[in-house]
Amino acid sequence: MLTETPKKTYTLEEYRQLEESAEFRNEYQDGEIIAITGGSINHNRIIGNIFAYLKFALRAKNAEVFMTDLRLWIPRYRRGTYPDVMVISGEPVFNEKRNDEILNPSLIIEVLSKSTQEYDKADKFRFYRSIPEFSEYLLVSQYEFYVEQYIKNNSGQWLFQEYEGEEAIVRFNLAGVEMSLKEIYEKVNFEVEES
């Protein structure tokens, strides 16, 4: 007879302590610690391109862009996650006065990989929607010139827009700036296989 070993659960404080010295980032899912897989070169290029563009475009606005290493805490679902790119309008709101855990992104961008795309499109999007300030979500393919955008309107409904082909232009609703897919995918080689 086989018995299942119960999964170890961690308190939020135990998770935070482990993250401070961890070599790799981990997500926290209501007591469970989930390792985040490393990104490919294309994944990193796309994140870097978007971050650099938005950093420059937002320099005179009341918004700030962050990437990958700042943890987002989602209280309703007791989740700690690391979005690829986040924009915060106004000042960051820190969870429990910690400077490594924020609560209030308005725009979140995830670069999709084969191993995470279903999670990013479904459950993770549902978790993000519980954040009151969250109003725009971009899902960026790393395998072709393709971006999905969700924008929350004044009625609280989420509107969908897709962009395809290198000449397509994404308009970041929150930031009031535009970026072509050619700029998002600068130096990306679609022939490189994801490991």
The 8 Å CB, 24+ separation contacts for 29-38 are 29/78, 29/79, 30/77, 30/78, 30/79, 31/78, 32/7, 36/82, 37/113, 37/115, 37/116
C-alpha 118/C-alpha 87 separation (Å) is 23
Domain spans of the chain? 40-184
Topology of domain 40-184 in CATH is: tt1808, chain A (3.90.1570)
Q: What's the pLDDT tens digit per position in 45-97?
A: 999 999 999 999 999 899 999 998 899 999 999 999 999 999 999 999 999 98
Tokens found for residue 139: 């899902």
C-alpha 145/C-alpha 184 separation (Å) is 9
pLDDT above 70: residue 35 = yes
**What's the pLDDT score for residue 89?**
95
pLDDT above 60: residue 195 = no
Q: In 58-165, which residue ranges form alpha helices assigned H by DSSP?
A: 117-121, 123-128
